Amino acid sequence: MPTHEVSATTFAAVLGIDIRPDAIERAGQLGRLCGIAAAQLGSSHPIITLLRQAERDDAALAQALAAIAVLPSLTRRRLIATLAGDGMGEAGRQAATRAAR
């Protein structure tokens, strides 16, 4: 099965996450993603810790996005689809649909 490597910056853009460290929206976006991930993966999953740290730390953001990118395909698709349905707007839903393919 082929694997597709995606940079953290590209994956963040697909998820609609503002990667600028000073962005006010970043904490809210990552908090939403963290809640969805906790519901789907369990609150003790390492991605949850990384997402919480990523609210303030660029290195943790890259690690969290890399960890999401290597989740099993179906799990990753469910995470992206749920995030897309959670108020991202039409452009976000279209981007998430493309990423989930």
Are 76 and 68 in contact, with CB atoms under 8 Å apart?
Answer: yes
Taking only the tens place, the pLDDT of each residue in 9-62 is: 666 766 667 666 566 777 888 888 899 999 999 999 999 999 999 888 888 888
**Portion of the chain with pLDDT greater than 90, in percent:** 25
Q: Tell me what pLDDT residue 26 has.
A: 79
More confident residue, 18 or 101: 18
Considering only CA atoms, which of 75, 76, 94, 73 is closest in space to residue 85? 94
67-74: list long-range contacts, CB under 8 Å, 24+ apart.
68/11, 68/37, 69/5, 69/6, 69/8, 69/11, 71/47
Q: Tell me what pLDDT residue 2 has.
A: 43
Are 37 and 47 in contact, with CB atoms under 8 Å apart?
Answer: yes
The model carries a pTM of 0.69
Longest distance between any two alpha carbons in the chain, whole Å: 39
